[in-house]
Amino acid sequence: MTISHVPAVEQAQETTPVKSHRPSILGIATLISLAVFVYMASFFAPEDANMGAVQRIFYIHVPSAWVSMVAFGVVFVASIIVLTKHSAKADRFAEAAASIGVLFTFVVMVTGMMWGHAEWGVYWTWDPRLTSYLVLLLMYLAYIALRAYVPDPARKARFSAVVAIIAFIDVPIVYLSAVWFRTLHPHIFTSHGDNGLPGAMLAALMVGLFTFTLVFIYLVKLRLQVTELQDQVEEIAS
């Protein structure tokens, strides 16, 4: 008489429910919005008479800058919650938003240098807005580095929250730098509501702002899921 032995691992796999990996509504909406944005920015919006096709960088550059500011605003609010309520959930949310914000900040810097070379003939100039934006990037890179350096979760949450709150001071400085100082950076929106953009260009820009916001939300969601999986692996390992 033969007795078959089923390994414990296989038994656990049989009893563990398999999660569905169907695309989420947010993911589908983001994909559709991206397709619409590519069409609007590439074909619907007219080509600029002076800069030509290079001007289309604008539709990536400005929404990326918008998302980076939103991301760091989220980090700022979440960091205040961390310090006042000692919320681990808020700390994870701040970390996710900061990492995605830094990603979009890199996109802003790269597209900005491409634009600058086409418009000004140089990739970089110590323009007040460009300089303040570089400082912003460096401060949030320091935030991420701090999180990787401090091993204790409670101390890491407190220290990084303080750094994030201090770093956020530069966000309004970046926004107002074009108003406070003489700058080569163009004014997209003025206090009188005159943006100087034709209707088709403005429509493409609005779609870009909406699309990049959806992308930010979707990437933060994925980043939180990765963090949750990492926490589960650490619990199993310990």
Model confidence pLDDT, tens digit, residues 22-77:
668 999 999 999 999 999 999 999 887 777 788 899 999 999 999 999 999 999 99
Task: Give me the residue spans of the domains in the chain.
Answer: 56-233
DSSP string, 128-193: HHHHHHHHHHHHHHHHHHHHHH--SHHHHHHHHHHHHHHHTTHHHHHHHHHHHS--SSPPSS-TTS
Angstrom distance (rounded) from CA 68 to CA 174 = 11
CB 119 within 8 A of CB 51: yes
Hey, which residues does 48 pair with through a beta bridge? 52
pTM: 0.84
CB 128 within 8 A of CB 180: yes
Confidence at residue 176, expressed as pLDDT on a 0 to 100 scale: 85
Angstrom distance (rounded) from CA 78 to CA 160 = 11
Q: Any residues with CB less than 8 A from the CB of 46 and at least 6 apart, and which? A: 198, 200, 201
Q: Which long-range contacts (CB under 8 A, 24 or more apart) does 20-28 make?
A: 26/214, 26/217, 26/218, 26/221, 27/218
pLDDT surpassing 80 at residue 16: no
Q: Any residues with CB less than 8 A from the CB of 41 and at least 6 apart, and which? A: 56, 59, 60, 204, 207, 208
Model confidence pLDDT, tens digit, residues 207-234:
999 999 999 999 999 999 988 887 788 7
Confidence at residue 217, expressed as pLDDT on a 0 to 100 scale: 96
